[in-house]
Amino acid sequence: MAPSFTARIQLFLLRALGFLIGLVGRAALALRGPKFASKTPRPVTEPLLLLSGMQLAKLIRQRKVKCIDVVQAYINRIKDVNPMINGIVKYRFEEAMKEAHAVDQKLAEKQEDEATLENKWPFLGVPLTVKEAFQLQGMPNSSGLMNRRNAISKTDATVVALLKEAGAIPLGITNCSELCMWYESSNKIYGRSNNPYDLQHIVGGSSGGEGCTLAAACSVIGVGSDIGGSIRMPAFFNGIFGHKPSPVHYLNHKDFGVVPNKGQFPMAVGGQELFQCTGPMCRYAEDLAPMLKVMAGPGIKRLKLDTKVHLKDLKFYWMEHDGGSFLMSKVDQDLILAQKKVVVHLETILGASVQHVKLKKMKYSFQLWITMMSAKGHDGKEPVKFVDLLGDHGKHVNPLWELIKWCLGLSVYTIPSIGLALLEEKLKYNNEKYQKFKAVEESLRKELVEMLGDDGVFLYPSHPTVAPKHHVPLTRPFNFAYTGVFNALGLPVTQCPLGLNVKGLPLGIQVVAGPFNDHLTLAVAQYLEKTFGGWVCPGKF
């Protein structure tokens, strides 16, 4: 399956175009970009901002901390930091303060014991932010698409409603890439989000605004979605935790996700709906499982989150790169070293079984993801064309004409979206190629599932590089496949931070388990946080 000469030429031309666009973008940034006195926000000084969602909820339930003080502390932090990172694109401060006051009033009037309160409202009074692609009543729901700039949510997405019912208080909505299909969060409505560890670097996508908002301590828990790494890449680039739950499409169930996807735009259609996942993002690992329990609703019965995990008894497997795909960048040496530190610790300190593996089919990660995106649905429906999404299923969009307009500064679309619309038909596989890579996907999934069983986890890079500078992804469009492959394989994955590199940018790793063994990856996440420090406050480097 070696790439053809024609494929190599096409890749070269695509990268050359991306490189030129990247140079133009960086030059424009240097000439007219936002200027800040510091490359990072100021460190956190308010103690309330350094507590997990679980800790905050407990203090509020015990009436040791007023909810209104917690919400006000986060509002103050947002006002101080968000102008630099542009993570939150629409505030709901007035409503949040009213809701916080109602929590305090409820606690003052009713003397229910803490256990009862925890059962009813596990996230009572905890600040929450939500990716703009999800419906949050009264807030915009454009997914960065100019044609939808006036779309206002009349209701809540299912997961948002569940978190609000659990007591969480939304502070606002966060930025994403246009139509959630690129790994830099920038669009023509809200502009670009910046990494709190270095404003000249990306936040990832498509849940990038959520990632940088959490990392900058402007929120404590958040909602993201993931069809190619849109939770895990932003979590990695911003040094936080993010979890892609198990999908359930292998059970042929009419509700494809453990966590419901209803209430977001765009919704995956065709075979893509089998792989789209909604999941939690947060700064502290102890919030992951409680968030997942709330967000899954009835779907939680498919998981084993209350099962005790004995880490020493787990079997660990690791692989430091994808095996050498010509499409992807080489893995940064500091990421390989961080992974090896984890491996050494697991072997020598924890005393666990750790095995280095070489899964040869991982080098076809991008091809497997394209196979997934090309698949028909269980009802025979074809995936929606991206160019139709750009027109929001109404206005006809000519991508070549939009490219010309973009060069003149007149297009309402971003260059990644225009590029994807231009290349869409070339990227999709014909039946012969689809069948070939579908067989590879099924073979690799079988190999991984058998290897992991119900007591194994797989350690794998979250991305081949740390957070790149703005526009650089245009020169490396396929690097997202390090996360995307696990969407194609239908496995649960948790991205875990592993501190910072010498330049102060976050390091991290993906922890993968077999189907419906999310409890294993979440347990490993808590252990890695305890061992390697977890989230590091920006500005302290």
Residue 291, token pair as written in the block: 């968030």
Strands 277-282 and 493-500: unpaired
Q: How confident is the model at residue 30 (pLDDT cuts 50, 70, 90)?
A: very low
Q: How confident is the model at residue 414 (pLDDT cuts 50, 70, 90)?
A: very high
- Distance between CA 15 and CA 384 in Å, rounded? 26
What's the CATH code of the domain at 192?
3.90.1300.10
Residue 22 lies in a domain: no
Q: pLDDT (tens digit, 9 = 90+) per residue, 238-259? A: 999 999 999 865 444 454 569 9
Place of tokens 């070269």: 12
Select which of 193, 206, 246, 365 is catalytic. Answer: 206
Residue 246 lies in a domain: yes
Q: What's the pLDDT at 393? A: 66
Q: What's the pLDDT at 340? A: 98
Q: What's the pLDDT at 1? A: 54
Q: How confident is the model at residue 364 (pLDDT cuts 50, 70, 90)?
A: very high
Q: pLDDT (tens digit, 9 = 90+) per residue, 95-133? A: 999 999 999 999 999 889 999 999 999 999 999 999 999
Q: With 50 as the cut, is the pLDDT of residue 32 above it?
A: no
225 annotated active-site: no
- Distance between CA 57 and CA 72 in Å, rounded? 15
The neighbour count for residue 212, using CB atoms within 10 Å, is 37
Residue 473, token pair as written in the block: 């992804």
Select which of 52, 185, 225, 230 is catalytic. Answer: 230
- Cβ-contact 328, 482 below 8 angstroms: yes
Q: With 50 as the cut, is the pLDDT of residue 31 above it?
A: no
Q: How confident is the model at residue 167 (pLDDT cuts 50, 70, 90)?
A: very high
- The residue range of the domain holding 366 is 48-532
* Lowest model confidence (mean pLDDT) among 159-163, 428-432, 517-521: 428-432
Q: Compute the average pLDDT of residues 157-175.
A: 98
Residue 3 lies in a domain: no
Q: What percent of the chain has pLDDT over 70?
A: 91
Q: Compute the average pLDDT of residues 43-61.
A: 98
Q: List C-alpha distances in Å: 311 to 285, 354, 492, 508, 524.
A: 16, 12, 17, 19, 7
Q: pLDDT (tens digit, 9 = 90+) per residue, 269-284? A: 887 888 899 999 999 9
Residue 163 lies in a domain: yes
Residue 213 lies in a domain: yes
Number of structural domains in the chain = 1
Q: What's the pLDDT at 394? A: 75
Q: Compute the average pLDDT of residues 24-48.
A: 68
Q: How confident is the model at residue 541 (pLDDT cuts 50, 70, 90)?
A: low
Instruction: Please provide the average confidence, as pLDDT, over all residues in the chain.
Output: 92
Q: What's the pLDDT at 35? A: 58
Q: How confident is the model at residue 27 (pLDDT cuts 50, 70, 90)?
A: very low
Q: Compute the average pLDDT of residues 327-342.
A: 98
Residue 8 lies in a domain: no
Residue 481 lies in a domain: yes
Q: With 90 as the cut, is the pLDDT of residue 79 above it?
A: yes
- Distance between CA 297 and CA 292 in Å, rounded? 9
Q: List C-alpha distances in Å: 463 to 18, 392, 477, 522.
A: 19, 31, 12, 19
131 annotated active-site: yes
- Distance between CA 467 and CA 195 in Å, rounded? 8
* Lowest model confidence (mean pLDDT) among 25-34, 177-186, 233-242, 489-498: 25-34
Q: With 70 as the cut, is the pLDDT of residue 140 above it?
A: yes
Q: With 80 as the cut, is the pLDDT of residue 157 above it?
A: yes
Select which of 58, 66, 131, 361 is catalytic. Answer: 131
Q: Compute the average pLDDT of residues 337-358.
A: 98
142 annotated active-site: no
Residue 391 lies in a domain: yes
